[in-house]
């Protein structure tokens, strides 16, 4: 069994336009047109922040006035709709391949007084051995659950920087560039190449919180940023649909990668539902570069 492509809500020309924009600028914006989902997600995050007593974690990457929450799929069923969204996932599958993995999901609620997060590429950790520019080692979708504005912490980004030979921290990287603030209404999603220079924006408002979730994907052979096997209890994972379990890594990548004593992780945890034998089921497609 190989990973399945997701039925799309984008027509072929919309998908081609999104891919062309990512190729050129490093990002594209998708409109979800699904207020129930967007406001349901925002309200759930705010409720969980209160219930769990979430406070800023205080590191340079995570911020001093930003509430971050990880492990969302274990916390509420509503989050299961995000990674498989039919207006977003087909773009990711086209950039990586259908065997891609969910690398992580983080709620990021930027509060008043927050300073700019240092610019970075999301795939920098797993691609420092690669010469830039290169294919994305991560694709990030940043979901706006409140309006994103320049004042309230809208993501800062540098269009086209995914094609540059430098990461932002390099001493020879340019210092004079066109850094922009992402302004988009709640219900929009920015999908971007993992090498694009970007970072959370500063929040100069008095009382506005900027709530977003980044849903991040990586190629199927790359280690996930957030480990789902230990974070999501099996009885919770068993309620997920097959596509989400594939994205979490319960199926083998190209019939080989990730096996547990010759079986898929899904077979170990869920039995017949994810039965897959390494190498044997891969035989028919091992010489096909795009199975």
Ligand X SMILES: O=C(O)CCC(=O)C(=O)O
Asked if 200 interacts with ligand X (CB under 6 A), we say yes
CB of 61 to ligand X, least distance (A): 6
Write each residue from 46 to 85 as x if it is in contact with ligand X (CB under 6 A), else as -, in one continuous string.
Answer: ----------------------------------------
Contact assessment for residue 133 and residue 22, using Cβ atoms and an 8 Å cutoff: no
| Tokens encoding 138 | 């991560």
| Tokens encoding 76 | 């509420």
Sheet containing strand 139-144, strands side by side:
27-31, 188-193, 139-144, 210-218, 101-110, 66-69
Binding test (CB under 6 A) with ligand X, winner from 2, 6, 152, 155: 155
CB of 202 to ligand X, least distance (A): 11
Contact assessment for residue 25 and residue 160, using Cβ atoms and an 8 Å cutoff: yes
Mapping DSSP to helix (H, G, I), strand (E, B) and coil, where does residue 273 land? helix
CB of 200 to ligand X, least distance (A): 3
Q: Which is nearer to ligand X, 201 or 266 (CB)?
A: 201
Q: Which is nearer to ligand X, 97 or 122 (CB)?
A: 122
Nearest to 218 by CA among 146, 289, 142, 122: 122
Contact assessment for residue 154 and residue 145, using Cβ atoms and an 8 Å cutoff: no
Q: Which is nearer to ligand X, 109 or 267 (CB)?
A: 109
Q: Within 83-112, which residues bind ligand X (CB under 6 A)?
A: 108
Binding test (CB under 6 A) with ligand X, winner from 199, 242, 243, 281: 199
Per CB under 6 A, the segment of 36-44, 171-179, 192-200, 225-233 that binds ligand X is: 192-200
Q: Which is nearer to ligand X, 117 or 141 (CB)?
A: 117
Q: Which is nearer to ligand X, 98 or 168 (CB)?
A: 168
Angle made by CA atoms 48, 49, 51, in degrees to the nearest 5? 60
Nearest to 240 by CA among 27, 65, 79: 79
CB of 106 to ligand X, least distance (A): 7
CB of 244 to ligand X, least distance (A): 22
Asked if 198 interacts with ligand X (CB under 6 A), we say yes
Q: Which is nearer to ligand X, 49 or 122 (CB)?
A: 122
Q: Which is nearer to ligand X, 117 or 264 (CB)?
A: 117
**CB contact set of 286 (below 8 Å; sequence gap of 6+):** 254, 255, 256
Please give the Cα distance from 84 to 7 (Å, whole number). Answer: 10
CB of 136 to ligand X, least distance (A): 14
Please give the Cα distance from 54 to 62 (Å, whole number). Answer: 13
Nearest to 195 by CA among 284, 135, 278: 135
Which residues of the shown chain bind ligand X in the complex (CB under 6 A)?
Answer: 108, 117, 122, 142, 155, 198-200, 212
């Amino acid at each position: 069994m190989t990973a399945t492509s997701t039925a799309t809500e984008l027509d072929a020309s919309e998908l081609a336009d999104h891919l062309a924009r990512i190729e050129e600028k490093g990002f594209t914006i998708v409109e979800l047109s699904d207020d129930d989902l967007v406001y349901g997600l925002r309200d759930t995050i705010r409720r969980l922040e209160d219930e769990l007593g979430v406070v800023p974690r205080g590191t340079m990457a995570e911020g001093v006035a930003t509430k971050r929450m990880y492990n969302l799929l274990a916390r509420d069923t509503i989050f299961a709709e995000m990674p498989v969204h039919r207006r977003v996932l087909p773009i990711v599958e086209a950039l990586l391949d259908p065997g891609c993995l969910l690398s992580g999901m983080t709620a990021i609620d930027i509060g008043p007084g927050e300073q700019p997060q240092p610019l970075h590429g999301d795939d920098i950790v797993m691609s420092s051995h690669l010469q830039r520019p290169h294919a994305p080692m991560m694709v990030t979708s940043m979901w706006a659950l409140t309006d994103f504005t320049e004042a309230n912490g809208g993501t800062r980004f540098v269009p086209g920087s995914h094609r540059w030979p430098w990461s932002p921290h390099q001493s020879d990287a340019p210092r004079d560039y066109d850094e922009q603030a992402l302004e988009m209404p709640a219900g929009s999603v920015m999908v971007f190449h993992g090498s694009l220079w970007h970072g959370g924006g500063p929040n100069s408002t008095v009382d506005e919180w900027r709530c977003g979730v980044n849903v991040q994907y990586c190629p199927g052979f790359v280690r996930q940023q957030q480990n789902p096997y230990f974070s999501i209890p099996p009885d919770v994972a068993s309620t997920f649909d097959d596509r989400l379990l594939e994205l979490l890594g319960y199926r083998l990548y190209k019939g080989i990668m990730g096996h547990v004593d010759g079986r898929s992780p899904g077979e170990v945890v869920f039995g017949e539902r994810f039965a897959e034998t390494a190498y044997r089921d891969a035989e028919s497609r091992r010489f096909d570069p795009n199975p």
